[in-house]
Amino acid sequence: MGRYLNQGNESFEKSVNSEIYIDKTGLIKYTNRVLNTLQGYVCIRRPDEKIRKKVQENWDSLAKPLDGLGIFEKIFTQIGAVTGDERVPLQKKAVIVMCADNGIVEEGISQSGQEVTYQVAESMGKRKSSVCLMAAQANAKVIPIDVGIAAEETPEGVWNKKVSRGTKNFLKQPAMTEEEALAAIEAGIDSVKKCKEDGVTLLATGEMGIGNTTTSSAVAAALLNCETAAITGKGAGLSDAGLLHKIAVIDEARKKYQFDSKDVFRILCSVGGLDIAGLCGVCIGGAVYGVPVVLDGVISAVAALVAERLVPGVKDFLIASHKSREPAAALILQELGVHPVIDGSLALGEGTGAVLMFGLLDTVHAVYGNRTTFSDIRVEAYKRFTDV
């Protein structure tokens, strides 16, 4: 990123996509062409390093080997730092599921037709889809949002934030206009605001949209500037021949648009989807409102990368749940520097992997919150050696 300059009382940093202001209270304010249109600027409070350290000290006082709970200990320090709460608040959880259709489906890149998006969203509205059944076990709320289902109606039980009835076929024209993408990002930020007001302390991302593994691969390939074939998978179940066709469609689009990997917003508008844009907004919203966001699969990972490229620093608020079977996911998570905990070859979407992670985090919290310390069992505490 760029350099810091002093502008009156504020330090000032410029990067490719953003202008970043850090005010005296430690708030980071972002403004750029995209976010200006949204709300002038986006403020992000930096993670509290004192609380990060305190949470680690709390772990180290518990009767167990140092770092015994591995990556979970790190995730707890992260949640403490970004919420500013050393108790690591996990008590109220919700998964925001962005539902939208993709015009590119008419090129035959998925096994299903786009009517399936509505049908699964309808089942979600009745709290019967896979993520709803898992969320009921994990004591989490499901918030399905219609950000662009290709139907006049929004299914009952689904929040209506429809920007359009699906995107355009990106081989013929850009999937979305700038205004549409911005409206979807705003819907995502707004949904986090509502969750925050409702007392939600931990969020997850989910989505439903036939064809969205094609849009995800197209955005990922352009942002990471890598071979389409290396990061494209079979989505919800393509044949080998179907996969080759999907790769060819994405390659044709890349040839048509000639992307510069730095032109993040153009990439999103041209070959992305309303669900990806909405989830990008959820990631940005998590950072703005100080609510950590657990990412689900490949579509969520792409949205997170778009968010981080538009608003550097968002990644501090993100937690990876699993390494999707779609090959793009692992590469994106690596690029973001977030480590997936579950390697279970999941490829369901809807937020299911993230909700699995909710359960794991709650189980680990039983150890953190109940605090059986070294002194409780009359054992001398382990020391941390820097040379180990």
Ligand X SMILES: Cc1cc2nc[nH]c2cc1C
Is residue 210 involved in binding ligand NCN (CB under 6 A)? yes
270/67 Cα distance (integer angstroms) = 44
Neighbours of 353 (CB within 10 A): 30
DSSP sequence for 106-152: GGS-SSS-THHHHHHHHHHHTT-SHHHHHHHHTTEEEEEEEEE-SSS
Residues 286, 349, 351, 353: which binds ligand X (CB under 6 A)? 349
Residues 258-317 within binding reach of ligand NCN (CB under 6 A) = 296-299
Q: Tokens standing for 147?
A: 């950000």
Q: Does 208 bind ligand X (CB under 6 A)?
A: yes
Is residue 130 close enough to count as binding ligand NCN by CB under 6 A? no
Q: Considering the complex, state which of residue 13 and residue 335 has its C-beta at the smaller distance from ligand NCN.
A: 335
Q: Is 183 in the site for ligand X (CB under 6 A)?
A: no
80 touches ligand X (CB under 6 A): no
CB 167 within 8 Å of CB 257:
no
- The whole-angstrom separation of Cα 67 and Cα 86 is 17
Which of 122, 350 has the CB closer to ligand X?
350
- CB nearest ligand X: which residue? 349
| Residue 133 neighbours by CB distance under 10 Å | 13
Indicate which single residue of 80, 125, 144, 209 sits in contact with ligand NCN (rule: CB under 6 A): 209
235 binds ligand NCN (CB under 6 A): yes
Q: For the purposes of burial, counting CB atoms within 10 Å of the CB of 258, is it exposed (0-12), middle (13-18) or buried (19 or more)? A: exposed
285/301 Cα distance (integer angstroms): 15
Catalytic residue check, 152: no
What are the angstrom distances between the C-alpha of 246 and each of 48, 242, 268? 44, 6, 18
Q: Does 295 bind ligand X (CB under 6 A)?
A: no
Task: Tell me which of ligand X, ligand NCN, none is bound by residue 298, counting a contact when its beta carbon lies within the kind-specific cut-off of 5 to 8 angstroms.
Answer: ligand NCN
- List of residues 6+ apart from 179 with CB closer than 8 A: none
CB of 222 to ligand NCN, least distance (A): 17
**Is 286 an interacting residue with respect to ligand X (CB under 6 A)?**
no
User: Does residue 292 contact residue 202 with C-beta atoms inside 8 Å?
Assistant: yes
Using CB under 6 A as the binding rule, the residues of this chain from 324 to 383 that contact ligand NCN are: 324, 326, 329, 347-350
Tell which positions 97-116 bind ligand X, by CB under 6 A. 112, 116
Q: Which residues are catalytic?
A: 350
Binding site for ligand X (CB under 6 A): 112, 116, 120, 208, 236, 348-350
Binding site for ligand NCN (CB under 6 A): 110, 112, 207-214, 235-236, 296-299, 324, 326, 329, 347-350
